[in-house]
Amino acid sequence: MDYVSALLPPVVMAAFFIALVVTIVKSQGGPNKAKEDAAVDAALARADAPRKSGGDAA
């Protein structure tokens, strides 16, 4: 019976990890993908704006 108590925690953790990966993969894309991509593109454009304008403060 010791082997059951030794194997149960890793099996439970593996099942939760697999469920987490499946949930993450399924949530990629979908109707909000364009909105998320636009938000990332806008954030990257704001981050690159000071470099492209040549506004070095130092």
Task: Tell me how far the alpha carbon of residue 4 is from its chain's centroid.
Answer: 34
What is the reported pLDDT for 49? Answer: 78
What is the reported pLDDT for 50? Answer: 73
Q: Which amino acid is at 3?
A: Y
For CA atoms 31, 32, 38, 44, give the dihedral sign: negative
pLDDT tens-place string over residues 1-58: 888 899 999 999 999 999 999 998 888 877 778 888 888 999 999 988 776 666 555 5
What is the reported pLDDT for 1? Answer: 81
CA distance 25 to 22: 5
| Length reported for the chain | 58
What is the reported pLDDT for 27? Answer: 81
Of the candidates 14, 18, 34, 38, which has an alpha carbon nearest to the alpha carbon of residue 26?
A: 18
